[in-house]
Amino acid sequence: MKKRPVLHLICGLPGSGKTTIAKELEQTFNAVRLSPDEWLHRLGFDFYDEAGRAKVEGLQWELAQMLLRHGDDVILENGFWSKEERDGYRDVADGIGATTKIHFLDVPIAELKARIARRNQERAADTPEVDPASLDEWATMFEPPAEDELGR
């Protein structure tokens, strides 16, 4: 009996460790990892180009669905800030016959700001520079997953 493929949604604010955990999951589960930031960099888009980001995330989601249909596990690093977005991805994956696992990285704002400041100093070209002050605004827009989302 073939196992159900798994869609891993990495949920968290910038600096929470999304790429780190996604790379670990990629190795552990031999999964395909799709990172919008890495694709934006390779395509020459600005990290804050919202239209470019939407296109990249849309293409990655199309690719992820094809991979899930073929039985491959997929990791998406989009951040998944809203319940509505997470539910939409979960519903599509469920329709394909895949299981969805949300990996929520709950890191206090002060720690995120410290991590971002360090990362800005040491960052690679495929890592966006982030203004730590933006985290305050973003935190108000972020909708953490409820316990029932994590346990599904």
φ, ψ (nearest 5 deg) of residue 46: -70, 140
pLDDT-derived band at 90 (thresholds 50, 70, 90) equals: very high
The architecture (CATH level 2) of 6-150 comes to 3-Layer(aba) Sandwich (3.40)
Q: What is the mean pLDDT of residues 38-46?
A: 89
For 69-83, the pLDDT digits (tens) are 999 999 999 999 999
Number of Cα atoms under 13 Å in the Cβ half of residue 129: 4
Q: What is the mean pLDDT of residues 6-29?
A: 96
Structure tokens belonging to residue 83: 């319940």
Please tell me the predicted confidence (pLDDT) of residue 64. Answer: 98
Write down the pTM of the prediction.
0.92
